[in-house]
Structure 1
Amino acid sequence: MSEVRVEVNKLGSSKESVYPHAEPFDRPTGWRRYYYHPVTQVLMLGFVCFMGPGIFTALTGLGGGGQVNSRVQANANAILYATFAFFGLFSGSINNILGPRWTLMLGTLGYSLYIASFLVINIHPDASAFVLTAGVILGICAALLWTAQGSLMMAYPTEAQKGMFISIFWTIFNLGGIMGSAVAFGTSFKNTVSDTYAKFVGFLILTLIGVFLPLLMTNPDKVIRTDGTRVNQIRHPSWKTELFRLYMTLKTDPWIVLLFPMFFASNYCYTWEYNNYNGAIFTIRARGLNSLMSAASQVFGSVFLGCFILDQKRVRRRVRAFYGWILVFLMVLVAHAWAYFYQKTYTRAEAMKAYKIDITDETYAAHVWVMIVHGFLDSMLQTYAYWLIGAMSNDPAKLAVFTGFCAHHTDKSLQSAGAAGSWSADAAGILYMNIFLSTWCIMVAGMIFAAPMVYLRVTDHTDVEDETQ
């Protein structure tokens, strides 16, 4: 049944206001019933990101891109995220013009090129210019991929399913990181101080498979949600109209600016975790296992917060929003307080010469827990950020603007700006402790700034006016 709201005027008469996107449609039969199901499409979307960003995450998680010298990778990531931050402002328009499937396909191409550049630099150490160029191209491609991904993932579920759909996607996406980390760990198991070509070849093959996966997906306007409503046809405005719509979004939803610090912080943390901790004090094979453990913990963090907290139907949405905020904020404090006791034991100069911790060392078990806890925090923060955006609107065109300008992991415009800053600091040789403390402070500030947004903007249901504004 269509959703109807009855408004009673002062004279006692009533008028019906029909929810503009809630017209009922008959679900298809046969194999189309399963193929056009929103869960099926989100699963396929997850596997697209499994093969692209998931493998990229595994490579980044190795610390220095699996290299002994991390400076080239830090510079490439700084350029990558700076490019991402800029093109993220306009990727929503490209997504609306090309359609999400072609946008996803173009987006995945950049990941294959980036992986190939690390294979090349392992063979020709003087090919750093190629890695930097690949970083620029990936920045453009990643902006396209994550904008298309964000608009689809938030448009397919009903209002009550958004946390579950985020968890489904995030779980599959992180399986890419798990597989990539497992490949890296397996190929370098007998190597503690040197790298191997095998893992880069494996990474490249997986990302090339991901390039063609979007062709198997269907157009979003053919998908019928589980409540019988059809996903809105994504509009194709001009660039000028898209920029005006961004202006109107900020004008009509000005409180969204309070979320910007949280998005800025969410990717800022990767530099310390992957390069300044995992890449600094562990052997090559220990890095691979650490990355594997971190990726696995991200799956559990996303499922825990998305399914058991944010989609808890017995609790009102506003209450769930506050529960989620409290849990993420506490994890920020705990994870960084824990990590501080390890960071204060070494400096950048000392790490260059010090003995590297290996998986056979007695101290390894205690140190790997830092990676596990931070992986858990990362997925919780990304899941909460996406859910919070989804709580503001159910309109995919509006969400395309939001995700292109704001959304996570997860990587979008503001996140990428934060990541570009932290990777640049690492490439410049800033003290590890300074990068760590700045990460801690920025994440705390991001959650504090987001609190008024949760209080003022999140309601128990999305109003009709918000959908049609």
Structure 2
Amino acid sequence: MTDRRMANDKSSGILSAQPLESPSDDGSLKAIRKPKWYRSTFWNAFILGICNFLAPGIWGAMNSLGGGGQQSPSLVNSANALTFCLMVLTCFFSSVVVRWVGVKWALIIGTLGYCPYAAGLYVNNRYGDGWFVLFGAALCGLSAGIFWSVEAALALAYPEPHNQGRFLGFWLSFRLGGQIVGGAINLGVNVNNNKAGSVSYHVFEAFIALQALAPFAGLLLSPPGKVQRTDGLPVRLSIGNSITYELKAMSKLFFSKQFLLIVPLIAQAVYAESVFFTFQALWFSVRARALGSFLSGVVAVTLGNILGKYLDHTKFSLKSRSRGAFFTILGLQGAWWVWATVLVTEFNKTNPTYDWVDQGFGKGFALFLFWVAGFQLNYMFLYFVVGNLAETQEEVIRICSLLRGTESAVQAVSYGLGSVSVMARTGSIYLNFGLWAISLYPAWLVISKIGVTLGDKKLAREEAVQERVLDNHSPDQQAEK
């Protein structure tokens, strides 16, 4: 069997970029053809990114306005808590949905609920009717959990091993692209508004139009069986088991030791989203919030892609890459929480509204930029970690669903507490600081094993797929058929 495997670099744990041969239909070996551009992993990363931009990216753009662009963040924090509560449910059942309709159509279904939420914010902003915000948030939650789970599985399963980090960075850049575009639109509309308050309703008209395009973008995604990779291997990303089996497998994986150990790491990372967007809404003018939305996206995209290249850098061992990323990201995160604790304690006493012309603006604004960038780095690192825990391609779907479901549960709590004044102003920051400290040791118990007792699981999954393909095309198998 080994003489028919593709060439690989065992020392780095990464498959080579160009394989030597692949099986043909008659069981012989043939040279790999260059992938068609519209079936390539890069094209699919681009389409996945466009879907991310139009759905959660624009959702993030609205959030990055601070409180969904409203004068008070309490209603939007309550709506987001509802969204994430429902996402916990839909994330858990995502593998069942994939079994019914496949990953492509599950992704398209997942885009459908975002637009009604944007419409709810528009109605509330223009007419003051808050019920539509909650209704839109519910629809968003029912679909977004499926979207989150499926897009994560696609991002881990589609790319070649040597492109995994770059694929993650490229894909997640589009989510922040929504924030950048949204911030630019908002900044253009509100550039003269140096007071606290809500943004113009015209901003939401643009957001609604963009989010309505998301399902159509999903139609351009190649289903797993039609993806063409540079290493010639097929993408296996489907669920063929019964619903009962899937639910049991999901439960078993959630309660596994390794996943439970990273739950605090997930919690400290994603709790922060409501914290820094509420911080922005409370202490900055409308145009300063728009500027923050734009610039923070640029900073986060830049640093996220640097991290992606580092995680793919085969000059360093998998062990070194995982540990280096862990110490850097979590070390910086601790520094941000110390900084934030000092600032909000001061702001709670002085109650400022900072505009970019005000003295003292920079100390809080810079913190917001670093917070958003840190969120992106944490997000990418979480995908890297779970990608090194999944044993099979089927388990990739399950562990991504659990990752996204856990994120949703934490964010439901985060946004729910953010609707309480004392938590919005100071309490959530103190709490998140504590979550960061609690997460360090259990996370280290997992991170320290990556590249040691936990080998390169991406590599192992790819080799398992290749062996199955070669076995299915062997002369003995062909004779049996």
Q: Taking structure 2 as the reference length, what is the TM-score of the superposition? A: 0.85
Q: CA deviation at 1:28?
A: 5.4
Q: Is structure 2 residue 381 aligned with structure 1 residue 384?
A: yes
Residue 408 of structure 2 aligns with which residue? 416
Change (3 A) 1:97 1:27: farther
Say if 1:23 and 1:230, in contact at 8 Å, map to a contact too: no
CA distance in 2, matches of 1:340, 1:39: 42
1:341-352 alignment to 2 at 5 Å?
A: 341-347=342-348
Change (3 A) 1:441 1:466: farther
Residue 97 of structure 1 aligns with which residue? 100
Change (3 A) 1:226 1:254: farther
CA distance in 2, matches of 1:418, 1:337: 21
Q: CA deviation at 1:95?
A: 2.3
Q: CA deviation at 1:314?
A: 0.9
Deviations 1:9-34 (A, max 9, x none): xxxxxxxxxxxxx96566556xx611
Say if 1:27 and 1:224, in contact at 8 Å, map to a contact too: no
Q: Is structure 2 residue 454 aligned with structure 1 residue 439?
A: no
Say if 1:93 and 1:236, in contact at 8 Å, map to a contact too: no
Q: Is structure 2 residue 209 aligned with structure 1 residue 205?
A: yes
Say if 1:395 and 1:467, in contact at 8 Å, map to a contact too: no
Partner of 2:421, secondary structure, is: coil
Q: CA deviation at 1:48?
A: 0.5
Say if 1:232 and 1:395, in contact at 8 Å, map to a contact too: no
Partner of 2:366, secondary structure, is: helix
Amino acid corresponding to residue 368 of structure 2 in structure 1: M
Q: Is structure 2 residue 185 aligned with structure 1 residue 192?
A: no
Q: Which of 453, 461, 468 is equivalent to 2:456?
A: 461
Change (3 A) 1:54 1:4: closer
Residue 12 of structure 1 aligns with which residue? none
CA-atom RMSD in angstroms: 2.4
1:5-16 alignment to 2 at 5 Å?
A: none
Change (3 A) 1:24 1:430: farther
CA distance in 1, matches of 2:299, 2:192: 25
CA distance in 2, matches of 1:168, 1:466: 21
Partner of 2:144, secondary structure, is: helix
CA distance in 1, matches of 2:364, 2:254: 43
Q: Is structure 2 residue 407 aligned with structure 1 residue 405?
A: no
1:352-363 alignment to 2 at 5 Å?
A: 354-363=351-360
CA distance in 2, matches of 1:41, 1:4: 23
Q: CA deviation at 1:366?
A: 3.1
Say if 1:93 and 1:237, in contact at 8 Å, map to a contact too: no
CA distance in 2, matches of 1:394, 1:24: 24
Q: CA deviation at 1:148?
A: 1.1
CA distance in 1, matches of 2:22, 2:151: 25
Say if 1:325 and 1:447, in contact at 8 Å, map to a contact too: no
Q: CA deviation at 1:464?
A: 4.9
Residue range with higher mean Cα deviation, 54-63 or 189-198: 189-198
Residue range with higher mean Cα deviation, 286-295 or 393-402: 393-402
Amino acid corresponding to residue 423 of structure 1 in structure 2: Y
Q: Which of 288, 291, 297 is equivalent to 1:289?
A: 291
Change (3 A) 1:366 1:467: same
Q: CA deviation at 1:429?
A: 2.3
Residue 422 of structure 2 aligns with which residue? 430
Deviations 1:292-332 (A, max 9, x none): 12211211221121212x11101111221111111111111
Partner of 1:294, secondary structure, is: helix
Q: Is structure 2 residue 354 aligned with structure 1 residue 368?
A: no
Change (3 A) 1:457 1:257: farther
Residue 181 of structure 1 aligns with which residue? 183
1:34-73 alignment to 2 at 5 Å?
A: 34-73=37-76
Say if 1:24 and 1:230, in contact at 8 Å, map to a contact too: no
Q: Which of 154, 157, 177 is equivalent to 2:156?
A: 154
Residue 109 of structure 2 aligns with which residue? 106
Change (3 A) 1:160 1:460: farther
Q: Which of 239, 244, 250 is equivalent to 2:243?
A: 239
Residue 452 of structure 1 aligns with which residue? 445
Say if 1:95 and 1:147, in contact at 8 Å, map to a contact too: no
Deviations 1:237-277 (A, max 9, x none): 332121122245357x53221111111222211122011x1
Say if 2:32 and 2:231, in contact at 8 Å, map to a contact too: no
Say if 1:338 and 1:370, in contact at 8 Å, map to a contact too: yes
Partner of 1:99, secondary structure, is: helix
Say if 1:107 and 1:144, in contact at 8 Å, map to a contact too: yes
Residue 261 of structure 2 aligns with which residue? 258
CA distance in 1, matches of 2:175, 2:67: 21
CA distance in 1, matches of 2:23, 2:370: 44
CA distance in 1, matches of 2:4, 2:261: 34
Amino acid corresponding to residue 182 of structure 1 in structure 2: A
Deviations 1:75-120 (A, max 9, x none): 1011111111222111122123212222122211111111000001
Say if 1:42 and 1:165, in contact at 8 Å, map to a contact too: yes
Residue 9 of structure 1 aligns with which residue? none
Change (3 A) 1:289 1:147: same
Say if 1:27 and 1:228, in contact at 8 Å, map to a contact too: yes
Partner of 1:291, secondary structure, is: helix
For structure 2, list consecutive stretches of 5 or more residues without a partner in the other structure: 8-20, 25-30, 466-481
Residue 142 of structure 1 aligns with which residue? 144
Partner of 2:219, secondary structure, is: helix
Q: CA deviation at 1:451?
A: 0.8
